[in-house]
Amino acid sequence: MIIKSPIDLELTQLSGQTSQPPWRQIDDSFFEVVMVDGKPVIFDVKQSGEYLDFDFTGDVSKKEAISKLSYIYDLDFDLDRFYKYLSNHSELAEMADFCNGLRLFLAPNPFECVISSICSANNSIKRWTKSVSDMKEKWGGEYNGFYSFPSIETLQDVFLDDEEEFDLTDIDDICKCKNNLKSCGVGYRAPYMRKACELFTLEMDLSEIPKMSYEEAFETILKVPGVGPKVADCILLYGFNFKEAFPSDVWIKRIVSYLYFDGKDISVPKVREFGMEEFGENAGYVQLYMFHYARKSGLMAKLK
């Protein structure tokens, strides 16, 4: 079944967005299990011309499957309109050519996005995606060889590290301790993840976030342990589809400074403020395209 909305599926999957790891690639298809109204659905998606072709296995209707995929790949977003927007801004005009077909890769599970985003801080794409994939295989639900992300309650009960696991079990050799967060390579982030689970269990309801204004949602997510402004913006953009988010770090700072401020040194908070005010409802997409463009055009190497 084809959804007639242009997308570069591989580019979108592999663009490093912290919503989730890339789906499992087998030949020219990407596969993943996604919960749709509480039911496990295994999607098989692939490129067909400029569109997405898909099949699925699960107890949901075709309409429900299309709706879920359209959300995950943001297929209702008008890319042609966005490209016209880019072309009307000289600083951004080249980006559509380098990033053609790139879309937001939105989280079907916002909790997974929170943990992925915490895990991504000061980390490589390869390492954080492996860590999250390991969590899924260790503690998620298994469906025909595919794994959903563990629930808040499940992850909260996972041992923190090998020492805690060794102390609280009858394992006779600490080297055999593999059922803990640090065994997934998350390092110092493990306590943040446990505290986040406690927060979501006792104080914060993630399902309330989409009902908030952007600023209220931002201040709320900042209360999550291990989450600073950049990670909060990533969570709101990739986990909740707040397109006015403009995740800003030292690289976005350098790119914005080069494109808009003649290379002058400006603070990361000022860059975030500039991006949200300058690009408005397009801020999230501009940031996504800006970063990919800088990597592919050679600009990033120039700015190092």
**CA atoms within 13 A of residue 77's CA, in its CB half-sphere:** 22
Instruction: Could you list the beta-strand ranges (E) of 39-155.
Output: 39-48, 51-57, 142-143, 146-147
CA–CA dist 93, 259 (Å, integer): 11
**CA atoms within 13 A of residue 31's CA, in its CB half-sphere:** 13
CA–CA dist 73, 103 (Å, integer): 6
Collapsed DSSP state (helix, strand, coil) of residue 273: helix
C-alpha of 218 from chain center: 16
Token pair for 73: 């790949």
Q: Does residue 253 have an active-site annotation?
A: no
* Residue found under tokens 């429900």: 64
CA–CA dist 116, 17 (Å, integer): 9
Residue type, 89: H
Considering the candidates 68, 230, 243, 253, report the single residue annotated as catalytic: 230
Residues in the chain: 304
| Active-site residue set | 230
